[in-house]
Copies of this chain bind each other. A is one copy, B any other.
Amino acid sequence: MAVRRGKLSVVLLILQAIFVVIFAIWADYDTTAHIIKFNNVSKALNGKTGVLETYPLFQDVHVMIFIGFGFLMTFLKRYGFTSVGLNLLVAAFVLQWGTIFHGLLHLPKSHDGKFHLNVGGMLTADFAAATVLISFGAVLGKTSPLQIIIMSVIEVALFVVNEKIGLEIFRVVDVGESMFIHAFGAYFGLAVARVLYTDDIDRSKKEGSVYHSDLFSMIGTIFLWMYWPSFNGGAASGDYRHRAILNTYFSLAACTVVTFAISSLVDKKGKLDMVHIQNATLAGGVAVGTSADLMIQPWGAILIGCVAGCLSTVGYKYITPFLSSKLKIHDTCGVNNLHGMPGILAGLAGAVAAALAMEDNYGVPGLYNTFAARIPSDNVTAGDLGFEPGLGRSAITQGGFQIVALVVTIGIAIGGGLITGFILRLPFFDNPKGDGLFDDSDYWEIPDDGFPGVDIDTPKGKVYIPDHNADTRINLV
């Protein structure tokens, strides 16, 4: 242990110092947050600073990242400190690193050689954190803090690049980023998990929950569930945002009902499994994410939610054990079921919705505002419609590109995850093993159980027993 001391600290302090320098050179406030620039533009901007319109939804997403992901992962009985604590560190780290990498990548387009900060950018940075935290779920309990920081550095870069490819080259839609965040994060994490697999993992007796840790986990689940409409709608505005909120709300509701039904159905005694309720109930939020602002109709959203709940619950019951035992892909939080497969479903639903989008059901401005690549490519026709010329894609072509973006996303995720996994296996990064798996105590000072107790002799050796009524009973030392 003594060897480890300082390693994490030094890496964090160096990276943080670099962040300060980069912000000093290249970051500035956005116009609406800049005292001089703001005063030079119309005061009417006031109501449109993004704070009023976007900040409440940003805060909902913020809660999803820090409470949602953080507490969802506290289900492990001896790993709560790392789950919620390291979640905080990773997210705080990525908020900065994601802002920087996104900013620098888009610097060539900047009029003043700086990238500009506003509430919308805070939302984007939180999205980057979500991506890494999904991957974290796949390797939870099996990685050191240092490994997770290194993983964050690499994954954020690939996430930003992949998203840019999807949006700017393939010109696809993905309002809730179910492809770019959920599918990407899941398959990146699973690839890392595959490389880090050891037999120790299956032998560990510490992977599992206790009654209270499952309740802590439900805090995470429910905040994720409630605020998911803000996740899918936060980056949109007007009727797009309104529709994204409605579709996500109903998709989640339907997904939850189906999850309970299937969870009970696949159990021999008809009992519910808390793992399903904690996770599969959320799959509806993922699965509707790509098409949430499209004209999928309320029943379409509900149907997507139903399929997602079924798929995800079945995944936890049958696919996760299969992946672990046959493919040596151990998925601690089952991110394949909550983010991976529902992310693919989202991509497919988005492709179908895109292939069905016509002037009939979107109107002229609606269609071309939604799918800019479908604007006719010749100047005159586009001009008559009131738009700059686009790529003239057909509905089917747009649907095809949605699929291409999905496939490329998964490809980059798996490739990037495999490479990252091999890097993380370097001895320097202190991959935990044996008794250190699924256990906080290598990384945290753990309070003793809090109650004075005694050792007693049992047939199996000495056992330490806390005396829960100690203070009002006897005085043990």
**A297–B477 Cα gap in the complex (Å)?**
56
* One of A259-267, A325-333, A387-395, A412-420 at the interface: A259-267
CB-based contact B445/A272 at 8 Å = yes
User: Shortest distance in angstroms between A61's beta carbon and chain B's nearest beta carbon?
Assistant: 10
CB-based contact A59/B62 at 8 Å = no
User: Shortest distance in angstroms between A28's beta carbon and chain B's nearest beta carbon?
Assistant: 7
**A240–B282 Cα gap in the complex (Å)?**
36
**A56–B58 Cα gap in the complex (Å)?**
11
How many copies of the shown chain assemble into the complex?
3
**A212–B447 Cα gap in the complex (Å)?**
10
**A3–B7 Cα gap in the complex (Å)?**
57
Q: Is A425 an interface residue (CB 8 A)?
A: no
**A98–B283 Cα gap in the complex (Å)?**
22
**A21–B300 Cα gap in the complex (Å)?**
10
CB-based contact A264/B468 at 8 Å = no
Q: Is A320 an interface residue (CB 8 A)?
A: no
CB-based contact B206/A92 at 8 Å = no
* One of A177-185, A190-198, A214-222, A339-347 at the interface: A214-222
Q: Taking each of A208, A230, A261, A361, which has the highest tally of chain B beta carbons within 10 Å of its own beta carbon?
A: A261
**A222–B88 Cα gap in the complex (Å)?**
8
Q: Is A249 an interface residue (CB 8 A)?
A: yes
User: Shortest distance in angstroms between A473's beta carbon and chain B's nearest beta carbon?
Assistant: 6
CB-based contact B211/A59 at 8 Å = no
CB-based contact B302/A19 at 8 Å = yes
Q: A38-B238, A297-B24 are in contact. Are A93 and B257 (CB under 8 A)?
A: yes
Mask of A65-77 contacts with B, CB within 8 angstroms, 1/0: 0110011001001
CB-based contact A8/B225 at 8 Å = no
Which residues in B have their C-beta under 8 angstroms from that of A96?
Answer: 250, 253-254, 257, 302
Size category of the A interface is: 35 or more
Q: A226-B62, A271-B445 are in contact. Are A19 and B254 (CB under 8 A)?
A: yes
Q: Is A60 an interface residue (CB 8 A)?
A: yes
Which residues in B have their C-beta under 8 angstroms from that of A272?
Answer: 81, 85, 145, 443-445
Which residues in B have their C-beta under 8 angstroms from that of A474?
Answer: 460-463
Residues in A24-51 with C-beta less than 8 Å from chain B: 24, 27-30, 32-36, 38-40, 43, 46-47, 49-51
Which residues in B have their C-beta under 8 angstroms from that of A66?
Answer: 222, 225-226
Q: Is A175 an interface residue (CB 8 A)?
A: no
Pairs across A and B, CB under 8 Å, 13 listed? A1-B269, A29-B243, A32-B239, A35-B363, A67-B219, A85-B218, A205-B452, A214-B447, A271-B442, A273-B445, A453-B468, A456-B463, A463-B474
